[in-house]
Chains A and B, each alone.
Chain A
Amino acid sequence: MTAPAPDIQPKVQTGRRDAAPVVGFESVSKYYRGLAALDQVTLSLSRGSALGLVGESGSGKSTCVRLALGLERPTSGRVTFRGADYPRGRRRLRRLRSQVGFVLQDPYDSLDPRMRLREIVSEPLRAHRLRDRDTDRRVTEMLRAVGLGDAPLDSYPARYSGGGRQRIAIARALMTDPAVLICDEPTSSLDVSVQAQIVNLLLDAKHSRDLSLLFVSHDLDLIGRVADTLVVMYRGRVMESGPAGLVRGRPRHPYTKSLHDAVPADHPARRGLAGPARLLAESGQSAAGSASAPVAGPVLPMSVGAAVLAGSTELTGSTALTEPAGPAGHGGPDCCVFAGRCPAARARCYAERPPTVTEADGRSHACFFPLAG
């Protein structure tokens, strides 16, 4: 907390600042009413790169986003911006936020329907007291950059489709020339034929503006295209992280593999090879098959079915968050949180928390019995 306030001038970089991650999480935990939404999460977004957070609902992705935006503070651990803690003072926090742009999931919710385009896109300038005589020109330029060059400045968002609105949201996010753009499922509420346009726009902005991206998605295919580094989260913990190609192509953690296998086929001829049909066949729940209990032996390559079916047919409630065993700061239960769904789980997985192991190829995973990869 004694660290100096972060430098808000992106163009003047000192060597030390360059080396520090733009956004860094150091063993960050976040508790809500005593329950861990994040449990000792460490991640690092380096300058000009794209970090992908992938996981299911309840994995802690959105909590990471709130912490990275400085909207909340961690219960323990450090969240840093260019190597320094997020400032406590309101004014300094606001200055920092001008360096952090964000694009949210639902462009229908995130744009005020009563505001005109001019006001929406220039709002960050107003909020950060950066407005000047040139604001209209800058708004027009920015709209052109996101492919809305002919959009009237006095139009309302209702006039635009989902894709158009997301372009407006991106224009707004880029208005203060931020160093980081945080994208929380930016395409999941858009039409499929429009999603690629928005992803390309984000990739272009990343390259042309030297932006760092924090990209959150549950779509493993999509995030594997956008991110250089992938972080796979499950129930508030990091299961696996590393270079996107490796994590996506040769997962070490059974949870990553299960996510991978749940992705539907790309052709009817290959249906059921990885995902849905195999799930039932292997889970023993098939009506045609026997009623035998799912096999939980050390089967490699793993069978996902038992895991997936066993885990997610539970009632939700407080169990959606990990229940801490000890005092705050000591994390959740002393076991692997995925053990209950993992077909490769053994006694040790229920008794100890697997430590994070970093390997030579830059990957790290938290599993006692990793896959061959």
Chain B
Amino acid sequence: MSAAPVMTVSASGPGRQAPALEADGLRVCYSGLPAVDGVSLRVEPGQVVALIGETSSGKSSLALAVARLLPGSAVVTGRVEIAGTDLTELPAREARRRRASLVGYIAQDAMAALNPVIPVGRQVAELFRVHRGMRRADADARAVRELARVRIDRPERVARAYPHQLSGGMRQRVMIAMAMALSPPLLIADEPTTALDVSTQAEILALVGELQAETGSGILWITHDMGVVAELADMVAVMYAGRIVERAPARDVFDQPQHPYTKGLLRTRRDLRAGRPGERLYQIEGSPPALAANRLGCAFAPRCPRRTEVCDERAPELRTQAQHLQAGNALPDASPARQYAAAASPQGSAPAAGPAPDARQPESAEASQPGTQWLAACHHPEVSS
């Protein structure tokens, strides 16, 4: 489970497949407020990209925009391709016809996602009838096989059950069977284990890892749980207030988070495990911001321990961190912050040397190995020691 995805990540030779997901400058606005604010993201085949985010970070809007499942009131701009196909450019009927073959969607609340008055086997079979033109008997038989594929015992019996007769873990398995039934190149999992017990969560994580090794789908796994990330992810994308603030291979992020928010999330979790009973926990101050138009500075600044004036003045761009690390090594730890503090006047005019305060500028062109770069959007990223 852990070895296979690493190999696919490095498979960037001449015969490369189209990425499972390629989003570029994606924006989603509700009533003029940006929920997703210029996100570029790539999921390679066989890769698990964990999208980490909290309330109003825009992670669910991003996922729904990719699958073209947002209501008409949401304004989506930018480019999204799933295995080379842009769903957003197709006519609605065509998009609906092709969606299930391109992207599987596993929702958090399987009870709400499944139809309560139809046996689950029928619901799986429907996919094959509608999209593969199978006859009812064939589709029903196929559905039982699909249920067996997600390691459901006695699938014939479960196929006849209604959603409410199944446990939460079983319902989530059915959801996974449906999402993977047509072998889509991309799977989106929107916090599928959040409502489950830990042992059921462990089963689901193991199952998804196994199935992915079989099918080679790319997976965009949305979560706020760093433990889930540690178990599954090859790449990590951390989202905050509609933007990606850090994107890097999972191991690197856990070893050396560059963005203070990522660092805080990791420290919260480590501290939880390491501390003694009754001891206060490490806490990040404040709470995630609500949607806002024309936010000037870095959205995390109000909660950030490394905040300086420049953070309030312009939003940091997503930049490659390799250069930062090299530059940072030559400097004492706190000096970038001091430089910024000295350069900016108390009333907050922008430092003259800085680049133009264009918040929408996307990250620099990606190097030869797309999807494995280390990017962070912070004026004062962590300096490696």
Contacts and interface: CB of A to CB of B under 8 A. Distances in A.
**A and B, one complex?**
yes
Interface of A: 50, 56-57, 161-164, 191-197, 199-200, 203-204, 218-222, 224-228, 244-245, 258-259, 261-272, 275-277, 279-280, 285-287, 304, 308-309, 312-317
A221 B166 contact: no
Contacts of B2: 271-272, 277
B264 A287 contact: no
A58 to B, nearest CB: 9
A312 B287 contact: no
23 contacts: A56-B198, A162-B287, A191-B54, A191-B224, A192-B268, A193-B287, A194-B287, A196-B271, A196-B284, A264-B228, A267-B254, A268-B229, A268-B230, A271-B231, A275-B206, A275-B231, A276-B205, A277-B206, A309-B151, A309-B203, A312-B167, A312-B199, A314-B167
Contact of A56 (B197, B203, B228): B197
B288 interface: yes
B329 interface: no
Given A192-B54, A312-B200, A276 B168 contact: no
Interface residues of B, number: 68
Contact of B230 (A200, A262, A264): A264
Contacts of B228: 264
Interface centre among A162, A195, A271 (most CB of B within 10 A): A271
Report the 5 A-B pairs with minimum CB-CB distance, sorted nearest first: A264-B227, A196-B283, A276-B206, A56-B197, A191-B54
Contacts of B26: none
B98 interface: no
Looking at chain A's contact residues, the main secondary structure is helix
A57 to B, nearest CB: 6
Most buried by B among A163, A196, A221, A272: A196
B30 to A, nearest CB: 17
A263 B227 contact: yes
Given A197-B284, A226-B277, A312-B200, 4 more contacts: A191-B288, A262-B202, A268-B233, A276-B202
A277 B209 contact: yes
A315 B158 contact: yes
Contact of A266 (B55, B227, B275, B276): B227
A203 B227 contact: no
Nearest to B266: A266
Contacts of B158: 315
Contacts of B156: none
Contact of B264 (A193, A222, A314): A193
A218 B210 contact: no
Given A194-B287, A277-B2, A313 B199 contact: no
Contact of B198 (A226, A259, A280): A259
A163 B202 contact: no
A193 B265 contact: yes
Nearest to A315: B165
Interface in B249-267: 250-251, 254-255, 261, 264-265
A302 to B, nearest CB: 13
A313 to B, nearest CB: 5
A157 to B, nearest CB: 14
B168 A57 contact: yes
A259 B283 contact: no
A276 B169 CA distance: 14
A241 to B, nearest CB: 14
Contact of A265 (B151, B224, B227): B227
A203 B231 contact: no
A308 B199 contact: yes
B152 interface: yes
Contacts of B268: 192-193, 195-196
Contact of A50 (B157, B210, B278, B279): B278
Contacts of A266: 226-227, 230, 269-270, 273
B235 to A, nearest CB: 11
Contacts of B225: 192, 264
Contacts of A195: 268
Nearest to B252: A268
B282 A196 contact: yes
A268 B257 CA distance: 13
A225 B279 contact: yes
Nearest to A319: B167
Nearest to B197: A56
Interface in B207-235: 207, 209-210, 213-214, 224-233
